[in-house]
Chain A
Amino acid sequence: MSQIVSVATAILVGVGGVMVLFWLLNAAVERLPERVEQRLKPYVFVGPALLVVGLFLLFPALDTFRRSFQGPNSVDFVGLDNYEFLLTDQSVRSAIWNNLLWIVFVPAVSVAIGLAVAVLADKLTARWENVSKSMIFLPMAISFVGASTIWLFVYAWRVPGTAQIGVLNAVWTAFGGDPIPWLQDTRFNDFALMFIMVWLQAGFAMVLLSAAIKNVPGDTLEAARIDGASESQVFWRVVLPQIKSTVVVVGTTILILVLKVFDIVFVMTNGNFGTEVIANLFIKQLFTFGQFGQAAVLVVFLIVATIPFMVINVRRFRQEEAVR
């Protein structure tokens, strides 16, 4: 009960405080001469937001960059030592390789599944379209950690001959196979982890792509069909080119998410059995090993790797907006 009260007052004070702040600032600006007031007013309202973004986003980013040149305690300057670690360390190398695998596999498969569902559901009756889309979209509501915990039970392995509590192995042994340690076998454990992300993100891809497909002008489809195009030709030659920019935006958005993947690996394997990724390695360096410098250099690497995709994403998005 006391918690509810304190949460309520916190919200009240927080929202109220912001209102008071803007009200005071506004009142102050209004006292100025009209010309100055016109000029300053936008900044009065945008300013606090910019300040907050700068304080909580830009400053930590720059500070991380500084720390990437310092030792484990961020006290003494160590030059490029941490960057040498980034380039030579065995675990970093395998993490980068795994991240690349994730980058290629997850966005591609998510978009493919999302696209397939969007196109096929479009041909169903309105009711079944809604049902099928909801099914695909449902996992979006689950947190990464929650989803990983669910999938732990899907992939679980128990001693052969005893009851298999994992769904996959229960089915597999029912058909006479030996239980397979899905998360341990290096041939497919990476993909077992990636599939969780696909399961979570296919719904997101589907919703955006479905909207884009419904926006494709009907007369272009009609014209193609009158000219005798088959359904697959209509899709590949008429629909797809018109939703290309959405495909790219969805793909890069998922890709940026994939670059930061941490929760799934942390919960499922913690990087064991060759499944390490950069973000999980960063957590280990920072919290388990107390190596601030090496943790910072991994973050710098992630930021640098993300920038190109963000540029593509923003550009595409603008193009798309311009067309509309």
Chain B
Amino acid sequence: MTLTARPTFRFAVLLISIALAAAACGGDGDDGGDGGAGSVSLLHGISGEEEQAALQQAVDAFEEATGNTVQVEASPNFETVVLTRVQGGNPPDVGLYPQPGLLQRVQDDSIPLEDAGVDVATLESELVDGMLTAGTFDDAVHGVVVKLGLKSLLWYPADDFEEAGYEVPQTWDELLTLTETIATDTEEDTTRAPWCIGIESADATGWVATDWIEDIMLRLHGADVYDQWVNHEIMFDSPEVREAFEELETIWMNEEFVLGGTTGILQTPFGDANAPMFQDPAGCFLHRQAGFIAGNFPPDAELGTDYDVAYLPGTGEENPALFAGDLAAIHTDNPTAVEFVEFLVSAEGQEAWMGHEGAGSLSVRTDFDSASYPDEGLAAQGEIFASADVARFDGSDQMPGQVGAGAFWEEVVAWVSGSQDLDTTLQNIDAAWPEEGEEQEEE
């Protein structure tokens, strides 16, 4: 490059930078809704094209039915984005929260549904019991579950089950008896056992265990005690919770009951744990996991022959269901937002959303027709869910992060690995619970 050429080059660079800066400032205009019809912005963290397409179908139905417009924004980093926007005073009109705990952190910046104008009484009568409980803080309903995945499911290899003459257990006791029967039948073979359990999940190892404990808590003590436990009104180191852990122990810590024993539980990735069920002969006969796990089954496995799904039985007269899902919350004083949230849980909205083949979720409505689900598997789950008496949200998602995504996981893992006893485990989890006021609050 010659000396004389330089200034021209520099000038070109300068021009390009100016042009770029201008372009960056250009777009991103404010498209706030001041048209004739109402407008509402929705922020959600639902990933996966198919699931988003399902949500879009519900959004389209809303726009068509009401003439309003919805600006949908998907964020793979939902937690960070929603916290930043809410704290920065720029919240979306409606947020879809995957965890009640996260919504609780921004509860001061969300308008209780009743105050916003949502007809909460109607929701209460039309939705499955428990859809409002998870989003209720300080006696105010901040969020309503709009779609859910059922966790209280028992998967089993249907053909091997029939061949061996086993019957689907109807009560918790029958489940334990069946476990013992299978254990005796498979005693000779170390590669076969009653249960397939795997809780390895990289940096979330242990969450499967918390689901088990929650399911057992609901079965042993019912929804009221469960709520007290989730809100830390009763400690982990209490007779009730201890009993649930001991119930878990009778299945998990018996080397005869679980494929690979406790090492198998700790070392097997949760998504792979079901694989032995599809071997021939079946490596295991019982697998407890949420509905999503069907997506991990071998592609050629068929419902009804290769596998089937049943309700994880209860202990008493009441049949509880454990679920996880997304909660809708309203952040701004916008009548269209109220209309939108009401539509999402309406019969029409749920039909459009859950009826889409990509949704892979269950409806929150009692009157939802299970024939509307896109496949047999979901329909079966839908019927199981519909026959449950009471439903509760995943408890660890409602506990503070230090417990629900920390101590609860880690201490159970340490306990199962045999490096500490139950007393220490329960006490350590209690100790990790943040004291009053220490809990994270958003300013």
Contacts and interface: CB of A to CB of B under 8 A. Distances in A.
A184 B266 contact: yes
Contacts of A289: 400-402, 405-406
B401 A272 contact: no
A3 interface: no
Interface string A258-296: 000000001100111110000000001000111100000
A17 B13 CA distance: 8
A162 interface: yes
Contacts of A284: 406
Given A20-B14, A184-B267, A289-B400, 17 more contacts: A9-B20, A19-B13, A20-B17, A72-B439, A73-B440, A73-B443, A159-B190, A161-B191, A162-B191, A162-B276, A181-B266, A270-B203, A272-B413, A273-B419, A288-B405, A289-B402, A289-B405
B203 A184 contact: no
B428 A19 contact: no
Interface residues of B, number: 39
12 contacts: A12-B16, A73-B443, A75-B443, A158-B260, A158-B267, A160-B191, A271-B410, A272-B414, A273-B414, A273-B419, A284-B406, A289-B400
A23 interface: yes
Interface of A is mostly: loop
Contacts of A90: 428
A155 to B, nearest CB: 10
B202 interface: yes
Contacts of B235: none
Interface in B268-284: 268, 276, 283
Given A181-B266, A272-B410, A13 B10 contact: no
Interface in B340-388: none
Contacts of A161: 189-191
Contacts of A290: 401, 440
**B17, B203, B414 — most chain A CB neighbours (10 Å):** B203
Contacts of B400: 289
A157 B263 contact: yes
A95 to B, nearest CB: 12
Nearest to B263: A181
Contact of B438 (A13, A72, A183): A72
Contacts of A184: 263, 266-267, 417
Interface string A135-179: 000000000000000000000011111100000000000000000
Contacts of B266: 181, 184
A135 to B, nearest CB: 30
A13 B440 CA distance: 42
A140 to B, nearest CB: 25
A19 B267 contact: no
Contact of B260 (A9, A13, A160, A183): A160
A17 B17 contact: yes
Contacts of B414: 272-274
A116 to B, nearest CB: 34
Contacts of A75: 443
A47 interface: no
Contacts of B206: 272
B332 to A, nearest CB: 24
B202 A186 contact: no
A16 interface: yes
A291 B402 contact: yes
B96 interface: no
A288 B401 contact: yes
B402 A16 contact: no
B436 interface: no
B441 interface: yes
B169 interface: no
B263 A23 contact: no
A38 to B, nearest CB: 24
A270 B401 contact: no
Contacts of B260: 158-160
Contacts of B406: 284, 288-289
Given A13-B20, A16-B13, A73-B443, A159 B419 contact: no
B443 A273 contact: no
A270 B201 CA distance: 10
B264 interface: yes
B205 interface: yes
Interface string A42-84: 0000000000000000000000000000011101000000000
B259 interface: yes
Q: Across chains A and B, which 6 residue pairs bring their CB atoms closest together, nearest first?
A: A16-B13, A159-B260, A161-B191, A270-B203, A157-B267, A289-B401
Interface in A78-115: 90
Contacts of A19: 10, 13
B13 A12 contact: yes
B202 to A, nearest CB: 7
A302 to B, nearest CB: 20
Contacts of B405: 288-289
B402 A159 contact: no
Contacts of A160: 190-191, 260
Contact of B264 (A20, A159, A183, A186): A159
A7 to B, nearest CB: 13
A160 B264 CA distance: 9
Interface string B417-443: 101000000001000000000111111
Contacts of A157: 263, 267
A288 B99 CA distance: 14
A13 B13 contact: yes
A186 B419 contact: yes
A26 B267 CA distance: 62
Contacts of B203: 266, 270
B27 to A, nearest CB: 14
